[in-house]
Amino acid sequence: MKYCIHHLLYILFLSSVFFALPSNLVAKPYSIDMRHQNLDMKIGAPAIIAPNEMLPSFNISSDSKLLVQGSIKTYDRELFTLLDSKLLEPNDEVIIQLDNQNIQEGTYCVSFQITDNNDSVYHESFYFSILNSEKISGNHSLIVFPCSDGKLKYIPDYRGNRIPDYSTAGYKRGGIEIPEIPVELELGPKKGDDTERIQEAIDVVSAHHSGGAVLLTEGVYEISESLEIRNSDVVLRGEGQGDFRELWLEPSLDYTLDEFINSLQPVNATVLIATGEERRRLISIYGDNGILKSESTKSEIVDQYVPVGANSFRVKNPEMFSAGDRIILERTGNSEWISEIGMDQISELGEGRIVTQWSPFDIEFEHTIKSVKDDLIILEGTVFNAIEKKWGGGRIYKYCDEDRISEVGIENLRAISFWRKDEYGVDNTKHAHQFLNFSNTKDSWVKNVTTEHFFSINGAISIGRGSTQITISESSALLADDEYYSGSMYSGNAHVETGVYVGRYGFRIRGQNNLIVGCYTLNNRHSFSISSRVPGANVFLNCKGEGSLTWSGPHHKWSTGGLYDNVNDKLSFMNRLNMGGGHGWAGANYVAWNTNGILVCEQPPTAQNWAIDHGGKKEEGPFIDYSSEGYWEFTDYPLEPESLYLKQLEDRIGEEAIPEVDFFKFRSDIVDEKDIIINYPNPARNYTYFEYMLKEEMYIQLNVYTINGEFVSVVDQGYREEGNQKVYWEVVDNSGNKLPAGIYVYQLITDNGTYANKLLITQ
């Protein structure tokens, strides 16, 4: 609803008498629309104009006397040109047509400053990119690709929303190696319960001024209770995790505890066995508090709209802030916004089952200020959820977090929750259910840790709220087959006798700016999940879920800013509607980059989700009728950069900061000979990669056949060196003709044998 200035003043007068009307709910005294015949004015759709094409126009109408001043800037905020000022009377309307004289290819921001006759100032910005899309290489995305300087260029929508920067995720904001902490105490295995002995060692090291590592040498350690780390600079380290994919406690063998321990002798690993019938967390890492906001530094954001991917915005009191300040960026979603995204109208589940409609809420993002220029706050990272005045706006605060602990690590060990089949042949849930949780912790890590049979709904390994900058690497969460969690003693996913819900979450994130890299799950329900209303950035990189029962991804209630980068699993960014009694829109502004497996990618109202070069199966979510598709893009050639996170990290810090990531790890399983050669993406459309490993130099030939055995093409032939081999193949026959959709067989012939696999080609 629009008001003239007299009505607005009258409402403000009434508000001073009866209630305080928040400034961000006062109606704007104008309307402004960007127009262009070839642009899709839609959130998440790239606003691209071809060279020499007419530029956009802006239609501005007034409800009161207004002064409109405008400018065109480059995306980096450099002034390109000023626009002529316009003075509007009440009920006036003006069209501003941009002149394309001397404007070159690039991304531009059209900024307006609108002042009413009460000297209230409104800031509006719109974006467009002049781009010859035919010049973009076929193996690059249209909306994020390398420029001539090697750094990524991002193409925003008409309000400026684009793929955000995820590179701040991980230990020390990414690009910093996890340190090798010196050993202070060493323990060896002993028969019987080791809980008290290990806890005492942790406490001794915790009391040291400089901390240190507790080393548990190879062997088996029984833990009947729980362990705690409550101080900084403490590491619990073993001497190996063993095979990170293989279950050592196989339920079908039905070992007693003693039999199982004996089966591990000798063991080339450090094994913690959670004994007893108490459901519990094995290790808790926690500080006393998380962040403490300084209410006295609260400053409202004055922009009408701050887009996803932006690294700057204007605030009311910029003089309170300086470079290096750590701030909370608080984004509000009011009741009007809840209605806009349909989360106050979630359909009922049925008789006796309750759906909870959403209420307004805030999301708090931790950031560091890079610089302050006039009233402009410039961040070291980017915004992960658009901030819009009409939906409640946003504000910033300084904060402190002295009660968080840091530099805590769990390394090089295996943890097994011991249990045996009950008389019904299932897991009765009477054993330790979670391995590890971080709470109120920062700049810490887990590396080279394998867990077995921890089934908690909170995750076998969990990063809790109040925790940030955690890296979990080269670790796994293994569970028994689904047959042990179903049948007559299970009602749905809960054990009938105990009433315990078996969540079977592998890695679960509830904090922000965390990185999970090179990790693996077996038989999990939700392997790599992010909880409700979790702020970004959070990144899963080079991970694989095997035997997953259902989706990984944001799980419920509007988590924002997650990246699944080279992940092979069942993934979904979707409206979960009445699942879980009202999960609704699970996540917004998520990216699936170079993924495989299965993917559902839908667009939430007021936001976007992006799927860039998914190499597996594309699916619709169960509530697609309440949703719309997200942004899907498939490149003609293997996607570059291969990893979005690593490239963003390189752009921000430099090439020397890029960690080594073994992308071959989950693409070739040389333990099983049937997988000595694999291909991806599979299904393939226009191309695929074949990868195989040779233990020595030899002559090879790689052929493709129809499912009926008819020869199609020679893909690779000749002498090849020892090691990993990678071969690109367009899906064509020997004559260069595109192959029809169908199932094909490829065969690798070597001196050591012949190996084959299937390939599905789609249109």
What digits encode the pLDDT tens for the residues 287-337? Answer: 999 999 999 999 999 999 999 999 999 999 999 999 999 999 999 999 999
pLDDT range class, residue 755, cuts 50, 70, 90: confident
Could you say which DSSP state residue 591 is in? E
| pLDDT over 70 at 15, yes or no | no
E-state strands within 431-525: 434-439, 441-452, 461-463, 468-473, 476-478, 490-491, 494-495, 505-509, 514-517, 520-522
Question: What is the mean predicted confidence (pLDDT) over 511-540?
Answer: 97
| pLDDT over 90 at 27, yes or no | no
Question: What is the mean predicted confidence (pLDDT) over 109-124?
Answer: 95
Question: What is the mean predicted confidence (pLDDT) over 676-683?
Answer: 80
Separation between Cα atoms, residue 374 and residue 468, nearest integer Å? 30
In percent, the amount of the chain with pLDDT more than 70 equals 95
pLDDT of residue 516: 98
Separation between Cα atoms, residue 235 and residue 172, nearest integer Å? 17
Closest of 364, 327, 289, 330 to residue 535, by C-alpha = 364
Q: What is the pLDDT of residues 597-625, one digit of tens each?
A: 999 999 999 999 999 999 888 999 999 99
Greater pLDDT, 461 or 691: 461
Quickly count: other Cβ atoms within 10 Å of residue 709's Cβ. Answer: 7
pLDDT range class, residue 633, cuts 50, 70, 90: very high
Backbone angles phi and psi of 752, in degrees to 5: -100, 0
CA-CA distances (angstroms) from residue 209 to 199, 285, 431, 703? 18, 18, 36, 63
In percent, the amount of the chain with pLDDT more than 90 equals 78
pLDDT range class, residue 135, cuts 50, 70, 90: confident
| pLDDT over 80 at 700, yes or no | yes
| pLDDT over 60 at 708, yes or no | yes
| pLDDT over 80 at 275, yes or no | yes
Q: What is the pLDDT of residues 345-356, one digit of tens each?
A: 998 876 567 899
pLDDT range class, residue 20, cuts 50, 70, 90: very low
Greater pLDDT, 6 or 597: 597
pLDDT range class, residue 101, cuts 50, 70, 90: confident
| pLDDT over 50 at 9, yes or no | no
| pLDDT over 70 at 470, yes or no | yes
| pLDDT over 50 at 153, yes or no | yes
Quickly count: other Cβ atoms within 10 Å of residue 32's Cβ. Answer: 18
pLDDT range class, residue 169, cuts 50, 70, 90: very high
pLDDT of residue 635: 82
Separation between Cα atoms, residue 334 and residue 362, nearest integer Å? 9
Quickly count: other Cβ atoms within 10 Å of residue 240's Cβ. Answer: 16
Q: What is the mean pLDDT of the chain?
A: 91
Separation between Cα atoms, residue 204 and residue 214, nearest integer Å? 9
Q: What is the pLDDT of residues 558-582, one digit of tens each?
A: 999 999 999 999 999 999 999 999 9
pLDDT of residue 662: 84
pLDDT of residue 327: 98
Contact predicate 116/95, CB 8 Å: no
Separation between Cα atoms, residue 722 and residue 719, nearest integer Å? 10
> What DSSP letter does each residue of 276-305 carry, written as one string?
SS---EEEEEE-S---EE-GGG-EEB-BSE
Closest of 609, 606, 602, 592 to residue 625, by C-alpha = 602
Contact predicate 571/546, CB 8 Å: no
Residue at 448: amino acid letter: N
pLDDT of residue 722: 85
pLDDT of residue 376: 96
Residue at 614: amino acid letter: H
pTM: 0.87
| pLDDT over 60 at 592, yes or no | yes
pLDDT of residue 663: 82
pLDDT of residue 667: 63
pLDDT of residue 638: 74
- Using DSSP's 3-state secondary structure scheme, residue 263 falls into helix
| pLDDT over 50 at 374, yes or no | yes
The number of helices, as runs of H, and strands, as runs of E, in the chain is 5, 58
Residue at 138: amino acid letter: G
| pLDDT over 60 at 533, yes or no | yes
Question: What is the mean predicted confidence (pLDDT) over 141-155?
Answer: 95
